[in-house]
Amino acid sequence: MNDQSSKADAYWAENKRLMVILLVIWALVSFGFGIILRPLLAGIEIGGTDLGFWFAQQGSILTFIALIFIYAWRMNALDRKYDFDEE
């Protein structure tokens, strides 16, 4: 295996790891807090409604948008680390 190939393998391994972490966070927030754990969060109020409803309606969307920016930020750092950036 040459150096470029091993560098690409390490790059994709870190990329996949990052994607799995972010997808688990997204699933936990959208399905976990918004659907499965909603009865447990019903007693906590935020913005005039219970926390489970807030996660189902707005929290999962805001989390998804934040995860997009986190992914872009981390991928830029990963590109620089493995010298795959466009600069």
Asked, for residue 5, whether it belongs to a domain, the answer is no
Question: Domain tally for the chain?
Answer: 1
Strands 49-50 and 45-46 turn out to be: antiparallel
49 three-class SS: strand
pLDDT, position 84 = 82
Flag whether 29 is in a domain: yes
Q: What is d(CA 34, CA 56) in angstroms, rounded to the nearest whole number?
A: 4
Q: pLDDT, tens digit, for every residue of 64-80? A: 999 999 999 999 999 99
In a domain, 4, yes or no: no
55 contacts 49 by C-beta, under 8 angstroms: no
For 46-60, what is each residue's pLDDT tens digit? Answer: 878 888 888 888 888
At 46, which amino acid appears?
I
The parent domain of residue 62 ranges over: 15-81
CA distances from 13 to 3, 25, 67, 71, 82 (A): 15, 19, 19, 15, 12
Looking at 1-87, which runs of residues are DSSP E strands? 45-46, 49-50
Q: Which residue has the tokens 């913005």?
A: 47
